[in-house]
Amino acid sequence: SNFQAVAEACREGVIPARVVLLVTDEPGCTAVERARRLDIPVLALNPRDFPDKAAYERRILERLQAEGVDWIVLAGYMRLVGPTLLDVYKGKMINLHPSLLPAFPGKDAIGQAWRYGVKVTGVTVHFVDAGMDTGPIYLQEAVPVMPEDTRETLEERIHRVEHRLLVEAVRRLVTEGPPEIRWRDEG
């Protein structure tokens, strides 16, 4: 998993940081089991247990701040991030997406690319804004679609690139700091 790739890279010193918390809205996901094996605390919350999105995000924010979180890395988080978190972590939150954005944003990006018949797809790490996969792009890597590919083989290759690119993105952000970011709402 992408979570495990980043956590192990931190443990091995590839990324000079540590993963202090896994936040998930899916308590049964494999990342929870992996986090527990690595002794990383888990905050599993069901958004439906809160009166609104702001209350849900306030609970997350409280824990992030209590843990001293500097960077938020989203991988497989299928919700738009609201102002409660964005106002505090703007420019300090990245998302991993399995396409060469701006192509194929949103859910099932690999399936979208496969159905469209593209010859090249890829992986993007971008900064998070209020939109659906619309934040400033940080890193991208192309993944060619081979004539012999099935959707499954393409997906496997994309996941391998995701692990590598996400680790590289986090490593660079931690060691070099964020680049100058030009947000769409700032012109």
Which residue numbers are catalytic?
Answer: 97
For residue 6, the SS3 value is helix
In whole angstroms, give the CA distance from residue 59 to residue 118: 41
Residue by residue, DSSP assigns 114-137 as HHHT-SEEEEEEEE--SSSS-SPE
Query: Which DSSP symbol is given to 105?
Result: -
Among candidates 103, 108, 172, 109, which has minimal Cα distance to 139? Answer: 172
Burial of 166 (0-12, 13-18, 19+ CB in 10 A): buried
